Amino acid sequence: MAQQPFTFDLIATDEAARAGVFHTPHGALETPVFAPVGTQGTVKAVTPRDLSDLGATLVLANTYHLYLRPGDDVVHELGGLHDFMGWDGPILTDSGGFQVWSLGQINAIDDEGVTFSSHIDGSRHRLTPEQSIAIQQNLGADIIMCFDELADPDNLDYIQVALERTHAWARRCKEAWTNRERQALFGIVQGGIFDDLRKRSVEELLRIEFPGYAVGGLSVGESKPDMYRILDVLEPLLPADRPRYLMGVGTVEDLVNGVARGVDIFDCVLPTREARHGAALSLHGRMNLLNARYHRDPRPIDEACECYTCQHFSRAYLRHTFKAKEIIAATLLTIHNLHTLISLTRAMREAIVAGRFASFANQILSELSIHANKPDVSS
């Protein structure tokens, strides 16, 4: 009998770390998984074929940006995001809430929704929970997100207001969500850095019930200890039979610590953004390839790395292409950075299944700690 979409199979655990499979209409996601961010329907500097070659299985696209340009109606008319962007694997879209607050000029927030001005042309728009769901259903992603309100992580008074609104909007999102056979709607846990508010948020969302649960409002300015503490609080509260998505987190350190605390899905612009600025990510730390020390360096970024870039190009060549402002520079470094995080999540999955995740994680974190005070890792 065919597997029903949006079921989650828990394959193995190692303390809180989990290896699972989330089934979607566009394929099964083996977790833990890192999703490259394709904000405007494209992961910057690489093609869908590159992503497939890298072993990427999930890509994120942005509701806010695609709503403003080219318009979700255009994407829908042209077959939905999968056809539009040439990606036949699972796609996740966010609700647009974060971008409204971070990019748009907000004119008003009320219990019904948000009025804002576009960062593109200043035009005024209104976004409500119902409209966010309608836009995401037009886009046609496999995983869609509830519209929520982001608040400063340590602003207790405002977080309490925003949390009530987030829960009310989650109920409205679920009511507006009609394409349930083809799209899974995730609720978003909010509550800043306050344990009791986070617990209350989980309780409310579990009452509404969703196919999966995201953790929002982290990696937005709070300390690392606060982020990890909140994940520790949430881990035993979130249902074991649903996928858990930590939004917008993507350093090597945070992926390892997130998996150790039961997270299944990650996304972040970090690997592609760093690549466009000449920075390489590795399990040893961050390397700035614009540094003059690499002018004649014949070595690859990482001699242990199996990505296309490291197998074919030297640090000297990569530095040269950045200095010459060649487009290929961003492509080659993006391939390497994405490979680093995608292969890391794959290796963590293997370690969980083998029952050796703790030792694997300790090894990675120890290596990062050794190089933590070095501004540039060269070996």
Q: Give the CATH number, domain containing residue 226.
A: 3.20.20.105
- Edge to edge, the sheet with strand 105-109 lists 105-109, 114-117, 124-127
- Verify that 205 and 312 share a domain, yes or no: no
**Same domain flag for 248 and 317:** no
Dist. CA 257–CA 274, nearest whole Å: 21
* Same-domain status, 125 and 48: yes
Residues 151 and 291 in one domain: no
Q: Is residue 328 part of a domain?
A: yes
Q: Are residues 107 and 174 in the same domain?
A: yes
Closest CA to 102 of 203, 247, 244: 247
Among candidate residues 268, 299, 324, the one where a domain is terminated: 268
**Cα angle for residues 279, 91, 348 (degrees, 5° grid):** 55
Asked whether residue 228 falls in the same domain as residue 320, the answer is no
For residues 241 and 169, membership in a common domain is answered with yes
Q: 3-class SS at 60?
A: strand
Both 256 and 309 in one domain: the answer is: no
Cis omega (within 30 of 0) for bond into 32:
yes
SS3 198: helix
Domain-embedded: residue 379 = no
Q: Are residues 103 and 200 in the same domain?
A: yes
- The answer to the question of residue 63 being in a domain is yes
Residue 347 lies in a domain: yes
Q: Is the dihedral of CA 34, 39, 42, 43 positive or negative?
A: negative
Domain-located, residue 48: yes
Could you tell me the residue range of the domain that residue 182 belongs to? 8-268
Per-residue pLDDT of the chain (379 residues; tens, 9 = 90+): 445 679 999 999 999 999 999 999 999 999 999 999 999 999 999 999 999 999 999 999 999 999 999 999 999 999 999 999 999 999 999 998 888 767 656 778 899 999 988 889 999 999 999 999 999 999 999 999 999 998 888 899 999 999 999 999 999 999 999 999 999 999 999 999 999 999 999 999 999 999 999 999 999 999 999 999 999 999 999 999 999 999 999 999 999 999 999 999 999 999 999 999 999 999 999 999 999 999 999 999 999 999 999 999 999 999 999 999 999 999 999 999 999 999 999 999 999 999 999 999 999 999 999 877 665 766 5
Q: Are 184 and 331 within one domain?
A: no
The per-residue DSSP string of 94-139 comes to: --SHHHHHHTSEEEEE-SS-EEEE-TTT--EEEE-HHHHHHHHHHH
Residues in the chain: 379
Domain ends where: 214, 235, 268?
268
For residue 230, give the amino acid letter: I
Q: How many domains does the chain have?
A: 2
Locate 51 and state its tokens. Answer: 């992503």
Asked if 230 and 244 touch (Cβ cutoff 8 Å), the reply is: no
Question: What per-residue confidence (pLDDT) applies to 1?
Answer: 42
The helix, strand and coil proportions of the chain, stated in percent and rounded to the nearest 5, come to 45, 20, 40
Does any domain span residue 315?
yes
**Exposed, middle or buried, 79 (CB in 10 Å: 0-12/13-18/19+)?**
exposed
CB 215 within 8 A of CB 245: yes
For residue 1, being part of any structural domain is answered with no
For residue 167, give the nearest of 191, 216, 201, 193 by alpha carbon.
Answer: 201
| Same-domain pairing of 236 and 251 | yes
Bond before 48 cis per omega within 30 degrees: no
Which residues are part of the catalytic machinery? 94, 267
**End-of-domain residue from the set 268, 295, 316:** 268
Residue 22 lies in a domain: yes
Give the span between the Cα atoms of 13 and 20, in whole angstroms.
9
Match 């929704």 to its residue by tokens.
113
